[in-house]
Structure 1
Amino acid sequence: MPWDRTEVKRSVTVVIPARYGSSRFPGKPLVELLGKPMIQHVYEQAQACRTVDDVLVATDDERIKTAVQRFGGQVVMMTEPYRTGTDRVAAVADSRTGDCFVDLQGDEILLHPDLITDLVEPFLASEATMGTLKRQIDSDQDLHNPGVVKVTTDREGYALYFSRAPIPLVRDDPKRAAVPGLHFIHLGVYIYTRETLQRLTALPTGTLEEAEKLEQLRALENGMRIRVWETTHGSLRIDSPEDVPGALKQLHSRATGLGITHS
């Protein structure tokens, strides 16, 4: 049965935290990709999602604000420093109406807007208060890359742990190869109820959160459950200037497949 948006009473707002001052890649949200700043690619894919009511960028930088306004996007200026993207999303939620909030990182370029649908749709139909996505690992290289976050879940689909390490480790496999149905990449997009956001941001930074530099571990360390749904859609995450050529290649390939041309 097709999903009917009119049956859902809770609203969904996508918040895209975007900082200019990245230590590894200053000005990253404004890097040009196929004639558009990266933040515009992220914004437009979120806006194309049929399960979303509103999209806005949260930034502390006038240059990012100007770029977003230039392509007609909504933007909120953040005047205080925040620990993580989650804390920035919570600050936006505190100043706006709405029921559920999606945290979509400003360097997470979705390859298809249905990736957000794969998160929002089951979340709204469930009793979960915080959710995220996983995708099957495609390569052994990703399994062992600390820049690629992995996730394991219980039988009900709730997160057991997120790590930069290859989890679970298959003890009897000397090759340490990725196993279909066992190893999953975590995609850095989250959805929360307003109440969960408020609770999460009131908590101190956790020991595991600090060790792995993964903000979602704050929730697990404090007994909060994170529902994880699987998607087949991917995303492009740009962490450093070295990631740009590969991202451009994939974006160009996607645009060619859709019949889009760029000058």
Structure 2
Amino acid sequence: MSTLILIPARLGSTRLPKKALADIAGKPMVVRVAERAVAAAAGRVVVATDAEEIRRAVEAAGFEAVMTSIDHQSGSDRIHEALQAVDPKREAETIINVQGDLPTVEPETIRSALAPFENPACDIATLAAEIVHDAERVNPNVVKLVGSPTGPRRLNALYFTRATAPWGEGPHYHHIGLYAYRRESLERFVSLAPSVLERREKLEQLRALENGMRIDAEIVDTVPLGVDGPDDLARAREIYGA
């Protein structure tokens, strides 16, 4: 399948102003993410942004960028607009959405997001990692994926929640917010209205499940570092040796 990797990156950030442009070992964070995405060798890579400042930084580093509206409420809406702009001939069959605040994500992790599409019934693919620290099980900022195993490294997602679930003995899984979509699935998803459980849990992916779409998750070994605040940025800089 022909794949397009889109990286949504906006300038606004409450906890870390201009997060996408934060310096990590001499390069903006969004450029570090683009480097990882290119290294995945899964397809064309484009940064989708609402800020000329980000576009200039990305293009100066030799990567492709496209401008999108400042009014989007979610990354999926932003990548859908970008998809229409950069692929009007509809050549891309699958789209990987790599968040612009994952500067240390492993290229192999990005590629892993495509694996669930081995099942033709899968509409949206994502990633999960087994929770190993007890504190994460009860942390509402750690989204849990509740799913039925369909293989040694794969889950069919039944629910996503900020609560500790499921009950009883067995593993819990940390959902990693990196998605791959079949093109038709992305187009359907963005056409749907926000759902009841999506609003309650503040988890956009529940909209897909509430509307009968199938989400499968590939299990990976580690959770990539997401940069949400200054402490995360400091850790990313340490990883890069800065």
In the superposition, the TM-score normalised over structure 2's length comes to 0.90
Structure number with greater Rg is 1
SS in 2 for 1:235: coil
The offset of 1:242, in angstroms, is 3.1
1:104 maps to: 98
SS in 1 for 2:113: helix
Contact preservation (8 Å) 1:132, 1:191: yes
1:126 aligned residue (112, 119, 123): 119
1:94 aligned residue (84, 87, 98): 84
Give matches, 1:144-159, under 5 Å.
144-156=138-150, 157-159=155-157
1:72 maps to: 62
Contact preservation (8 Å) 1:112, 1:233: no
2:197 maps to: 208
Contact preservation (8 Å) 1:111, 1:233: no
The offset of 1:93, in angstroms, is 2.0
The offset of 1:124, in angstroms, is 4.2
SS in 2 for 1:86: helix
Query: Which structure 1 segments of 5+ residues have no match?
Result: 1-9, 171-178, 253-261
SS in 1 for 2:69: coil
Which deviates more, 127-136 or 237-246? 237-246
Query: Which structure 2 segments of 5+ residues have no match?
Result: none
CA root-mean-square deviation = 1.7
Distance in 2 (alpha carbons) for counterparts of 1:163 and 1:214: 8
1:44 aligned residue (22, 35, 43): 35
SS in 1 for 2:129: strand
SS in 2 for 1:107: coil
Deviant stretches of 4+, over 4 Å: none
Distance in 1 (alpha carbons) for counterparts of 2:238 and 2:164: 27
Give the letter for the 1:41 counterpart: R
Give the letter for the 2:67 counterpart: M
1:32 aligned residue (16, 23, 27): 23
Contact preservation (8 Å) 2:103, 2:236: no
Percent identity, aligned pairs only? Answer: 38
The offset of 1:80, in angstroms, is 5.1
Give the letter for the 2:61 counterpart: F
In the superposition, the TM-score normalised over structure 1's length comes to 0.83
1:22 maps to: 13
Contact preservation (8 Å) 1:135, 1:233: yes
The offset of 1:160, in angstroms, is 1.1
The offset of 1:191, in angstroms, is 0.5
What is the aligned residue count?
A: 233
